[in-house]
Amino acid sequence: MGVEVGGLFGLVVLVLDIYAIVKTVGSGASTGSKVLWILLILVLPVVGFILWLLLGPSRPARPVST
């Protein structure tokens, strides 16, 4: 039974990390900040996601005016 729960937990963490990475890439933060957040999320998936959720870039990127 532990394998099924662990696999489900791993899948949930993967989905949440992908969500955090997509939101980070689309944020208005600087490129360096985005790279650091993505590295943190990839190296420490659970802790990185929690830190991103609490402290990460939250403002959306501004559309380019023509």
- Is 62 among the domain residues? no
Which residues of the chain, if any, have pLDDT below 50?
Answer: none
- Is 22 among the domain residues? yes
What is the model's pLDDT at position 3?
55
- Is 64 among the domain residues? no
- Is 65 among the domain residues? no
- The verdict on pTM exceeding 0.85 is no
Enter the tokens of residue 25: 């890439």
What is the model's pLDDT at position 39?
96
- Is 27 among the domain residues? yes
Q: Which structural domain, as residue segments, surrounds residue 38?
A: 2-55
What is the model's pLDDT at position 7?
83
Q: Which residues contact 66 (CB under 8 A, 6 or more apart)?
A: none
Three-state secondary structure of the chain: CHHHHHHHHHHHHHHHHHHHHHHHHCECCCHHHHHHHHHHHHHCHHHHHHHHHHHCCCCECCCCCC
**Based on the structure, what is the number of domains in the chain?**
1
- Is 60 among the domain residues? no
- Is 12 among the domain residues? yes
Closest-CA residue to 28 (of 59, 63, 66, 64): 59
